Amino acid sequence: MGGKRQDSRDTISWLEDRGWEVDVDRKGYPLARCPCGRHLKTIHRTPSNPEYWKNLRKHVERTCPGGSR
Ligand SMILES: [Zn+2]
């Protein structure tokens, strides 16, 4: 029941914990901006790929380890 939406929320709060800012773009997609300001990532809400969330997290960790305060 609403499992996919929960995944999206979990991932967004995971990103925010890592210092990313998440806004919504004009098309209504969540758009994440990394702590260093050089990386952007559009987030799908209902991806067809079940691995999407896992892959997104890996991608984020590889792209911008971030969190450097
Ligand atoms: Zn970055």
For residue 52, count CB atoms less than 10 angstroms from its CB and return exposed for 0-12, middle for 13-18, buried for 19 or more: middle
Cα–ligand 1 centroid distance for 1 (angstroms): 34
Cα–ligand 1 centroid distance for 2 (angstroms): 31
Q: Judge contact between 10 and 20, C-beta under 8 A.
A: no
- Residue spans per domain, the chain: 12-62
Cα–ligand 1 centroid distance for 65 (angstroms): 7
- 24 DSSP β-pair partners: 30
Q: pTM, whole model, 2 decimals?
A: 0.80
Q: Write the pLDDT tens digit of every residue in 11-42.
A: 999 999 999 999 998 888 899 999 999 999 99
Give the separation between CA 22 and CA 34, rounded to whole angstroms: 9
Q: Write the pLDDT tens digit of every residue in 49-62.
A: 999 999 999 999 99
Which tokens hold the place of 26? 């004009």
Cα–ligand 1 centroid distance for 51 (angstroms): 23
Q: pLDDT class for 66, splitting at 50, 70, 90?
A: low
